[in-house]
Amino acid sequence: MREEPTTPALEGADLSIGYGEKIIASGLSIRIYPGDVASLLGPNGVGKSTLIKTLTGELEAVEGIVYVFGKDVESYSRKELSRLLAIVTTDSVLAGGLTVEELVGLGRQPHTGFFGRMGDDDRKATEEAMRRVGIIHKREAYVAELSDGERQKAMIAKALAQETAIIVLDEPFSYLDVAARIEILSLLKEIAAGGKAILFSSHDVSQALRMASKAILFTPSGELISGTPARLIAERRLPLLFPRRNVVFSEEAKDFIAAETGSELSSVKACNVNECPVQPHTPDR
């Protein structure tokens, strides 16, 4: 598919993640390369958000090291890191009284001086980010006036304006309908094609498998399994995400469905973890 660059943009090596004494999962390794649109999939409570926060340097790894372009994330200053890695979350924000342009312009903060004065470069980067995301027609609008999808686009534009090589999105689709999800995923693919490394966590298995270039499964047993969606499906890894009798993975629908509906779709191979033999997995890089 694509040539493999030698250094991952973002790498977690043998991580134990958790808060202080409480370890949620250990032995986790993950690599995101420039050009990747990687989706982190897993059931609730498995530690997706904790892993994301550990990879972005928001949370210290209990054990193991996070590398950003081959260097320990701890060795970067906050300022340096803010120019390499941008996050997008769905945290509620009090930014309703900013215009879209002001919000996207906040992405320039790591690049501007003490008073945040925007130079020509900063204005150009802000405008370019709004244009790429397709929100430029709303530049004068207040953030409060945006739909959920538009607001998420504006936050992604803010991340683009930050001009980082890595963008990490924590559950970016939480409040979005399917159309908005697809639109944003296409946008992320386009952005990655320009050489950025993108990692997002999601509950939307089917869209992630269709559109991401790489899927990382975080199983309830605390393992990370990564590969291209096609390979993970062929190797029947997906059922490991929800090891339950009444939830099966349909390869045709590329989604989890209730076990009893599986038989209604004649040609569908739908199975759960107990029924389908797992194929041998070739570890991903």
Contact call for residue 3 and another protein (CB under 8 A) = no
Alpha-carbon Rg of the chain, whole angstroms? 20
C-alpha to C-alpha distance for 109 and 97, rounded to whole angstroms:
18
| Region binding another protein by CB under 8 A among candidate stretches 96-104, 206-214, 254-262, 265-273 | 96-104
The binder of another protein chosen from 95, 100, 240, 241 (CB under 8 A) = 95
Spell out the residues 6+ positions from residue 250 whose beta carbon is closer than 8 angstroms to its own.
256, 257, 262, 265, 268, 269, 270
Stretch that binds another protein, among 39-47, 109-117, 130-138, 218-226 (CB under 8 A): 109-117
3-state helix, strand, coil in the chain (%, to 5): 35, 25, 40
Looking at residues 144 to 203 of the shown chain, list those that interact with another protein (rule: CB under 8 A): 144-145, 162
In the complex with another protein, which residue's Cβ is closer, 173 or 242? 173
Nearer to another protein, 106 or 253 (CB): 106
**Partners of 247 in the β-ladder:** 258
> 7 with 195: CB under 8 angstroms?
no
State which amino acid sits at residue 263: S
Q: Which is nearer to another protein, 164 or 213 (CB)?
A: 164
Work out whether 115 is an interface residue with another protein (CB under 8 A). yes
Residue 13 token pair: 């090596």
Contacts with another protein, residue ranges (CB under 8 A): 56, 58, 78-79, 81-82, 85-87, 89, 91-98, 102-103, 106-107, 109-110, 112, 114-116, 142-145, 162
